[in-house]
Structure 1
């Protein structure tokens, strides 16, 4: 199909990445912890596990990191990469397991809906076809 050369092609590498993302969004939907009134947790501060929510898990930046600054220049606080842990799925003590809110089947549920209610929202009432955005051309 192709030459055995280690020279990735920009277009095809991007195409494979996009296909992988499409498949990933079809078979995985992991719920995350939320804040008050279903808000998204703000886990940017390095002390957010103590000050915001115990499920905040910010990643500290080492002093010699070549990409990220060690200090946030606007706040003067140490710089951390925000991370919120997913909701645990186990009912007993042990290693943390994740829940999946969709089926693990490649069934295009993210396109066609996972249940009857979602399917009806994605379809037109007149002919039952998928909703879409008309192309101006």
Structure 2
């Protein structure tokens, strides 16, 4: 992908080219012991998936402000946001031609998370990286394992 353009090859052999809208976002990597906090959301077709809490950052916010707002909206939690630990890209199927670049911050929650169905969060669960739900986004799988490996001194 170059300058907001994307190309992909369909199984028919036809080359599809298009433009996408980049979107900034922020996600929280919240750990407790060997577990990571995940939230269950749904794709536009209703299929559930698991990801890190967080979401889009508004134009008037910096990533930390946006993440704090998202954690209040999605989980009813205030948080302490620490340093960024990673980034990942996500192509949305619910926002046509939208690709988000998420900055992932190490975070601590200051209260128990309570999923807000109105914000599209249907469950919050502490999960060990070796037993992540099958529908966990691949980018999130990688980050969860890396976080626990780092905390336990594995490389």
Q: What range describes the TM-score normalised by the shorter chain of this pair?
A: under 0.3
| TM-score, with structure 2 as normaliser | 0.20
Of structures 1 and 2, the one with the larger relative CO (CA 8 A, separation 6+) is: 2
| Structure of higher CA gyration radius | 1
Q: Which has the higher helix share?
A: 1
| TM-score, with structure 1 as normaliser | 0.22
